[in-house]
Amino acid sequence: MRVVVLLCVISGVTFTSADITGQHPASGTCLCLTGTNVHARSAAGLSGSIVATVSKPECFKFHGGILTKDGYTWYQLQHVNGHNAWVTGTFLSTSTAFYCFGTPSTSGSGICTDATAKEFACLLLYYAKAGNITLWKQHPSGVHDNAYSYNNINDACLGHAASRSNYNCSECRSPGAPGGHVCLSKTLLYYIVLVHQKLGYIHVNEIAGACHSCTSKHYLGRAVDLHNPSGQSTMMLSLCTFLGGWGQNEGTHVHCQFNS
């Protein structure tokens, strides 16, 4: 219950209108899905080819087109699986631009349905783009892939599963980091937000990326490594424990993980 109360304190981004049929939002307005497995089409109307299947909590910027056809009002959305696709207003809600802060990316895969996790990820991405935190765009190993912490957070903000690394290391020689994708834990994301709010600037080294022990919770989307400036590890570990996690000071960074 303690965590739920804390989540309510920070959560302030809400959908402003469900079913936008008949509305004329400005171009660039953030529109979010309210249903699951909704067809996005190449053209307005039921005869338009399906270019993607989208679900809540995915959000897209409004491209500007509105057409009424086949008994529905259709709205054109930007960057839906590489298309400016059309979705009926019955499955859309308007929201703040905050939910559309992610940069369209192909590194994530699949849909993660936890709207709270998405909200925290978008907040972290906002902090990063404002220069208040750093989400690392590299791994200590020097291996290049799509599983950097920045990409992980960007994908989560888009409502997608985050990429995991796929290479061997001394910590896990076989089979190595598993690759694939994972939905990030909302508790983990909230922990990172809380650390920033308590300590100010922070540097997020790794979330689901890099190579760790073969059974690491990083690969479950439930662990983070934070750069460990002098004097900050105690607070980081205390917050980790407070939220029900387990952490340790590993010298250059603080590791925190959660069971869910």
Residue-averaged pLDDT of the chain = 91
Is residue 260's pLDDT more than 70? yes
Q: What is the mean pLDDT of residues 160-188?
A: 94
> Tokens 């709010």 correspond to what residue?
197
Q: What is the mean pLDDT of residues 177-196?
A: 97
Is residue 22's pLDDT more than 80? yes
Residue of 141, 159, 163, 140 whose CA lies nearest to 150: 163
For the entire predicted model, the pTM comes to 0.83
Within the chain, all domains assigned CATH 2.30.30.170 are found at 20-95
Is residue 204's pLDDT more than 90? yes
Q: What percent of the chain has pLDDT over 70?
A: 92
Single-letter amino acid, residue 98: F
Q: What is the mean pLDDT of residues 122-130?
A: 94
Please classify residue 39 by burial: count the beta carbons closer than 10 Å to its beta carbon, then call 0-12 exposed, 13-18 middle and 19+ buried: middle
Confidence of residue 219 (pLDDT cuts 50, 70, 90): very high
Is residue 109's pLDDT more than 90? no
What is the layout of strands, in order, in the sheet containing 30-33? 15-18, 92-95, 30-33, 59-69, 72-80, 83-88, 38-41, 50-54
**Which segment of 53-67, 93-107, 183-197, 208-222 scores lowest on mean pLDDT?**
93-107
Q: What is the mean pLDDT of residues 12-37?
A: 83
Report how far residue 147's alpha carbon sits from residue 163's, in angstroms, rounded to the nearest whole number. 5
Residue of 167, 168, 139 whose CA lies nearest to 151: 139
Is residue 5's pLDDT more than 60? no
71-101 pLDDT, tens digit each: 999 999 999 988 999 999 999 999 988 888 8
Structure tokens, 98: 């905050």
Q: What is the CATH number of domain 20-95?
A: 2.30.30.170
